Amino acid sequence: MNPWIITLIILAVGGVVIFFLYRKGSKLQAEQDEQKQKLQASAQKVTMLVIDKKRLPFKDSGLPQIVIDQSPKRARRVKVPVVKAKVGPKIMSLIADEDVYDQIPVNASIQAMVSGIYITSVNNFRKAPVEKEEKKGLLNKLRGKN
């Protein structure tokens, strides 16, 4: 076979694959935008006292069992940002958005927009200092593992 024909076939297959991935990506993007709009529509402003925040595996996060059962199996092994907070008289475990998680101060009272058990945004109205994690160097990481 002529090498030009093989090259054209490979380019055609590559073009079809790229077109398929573009279409699939645009559909997924539209679904994600729709879900964000639903979250924003159902969000409520809540005042809470943050007790603790950690990144935990989904199954060990302390969330209600029904939430864990409804999640896909592959998502149960992923670490999620979990915030334990006192909302009114109750102590609740909430999931924070990745962008919001670093802004949440520990042991401080904050106002947050909450949609279900999902924290979508934070307003640090008492101006509590936000703790920044220290970056560990390579040697400190190695020493910490021993």
pLDDT of residue 107: 87
Rounded to whole angstroms, the Cα distance separating 8 from 134 reads 54
Per DSSP, 70 falls in state H
Q: What is the pLDDT of residues 15-48, one digit of tens each?
A: 999 999 999 999 999 999 998 898 888 888 989 9
Q: pLDDT band for position 128 (50/70/90)?
A: low
Amino acid at residue number 89: P
pTM of the predicted structure, to 2 decimals: 0.66
Mean pLDDT of 59-78: 84
Question: What are φ and ψ of residue 112, in 5° steps?
Answer: -135, 150
Identify which has the larger pLDDT, 135 or 3: 3
Three-class SS state of 118: strand
Rounded to whole angstroms, the Cα distance separating 135 from 11 reads 46
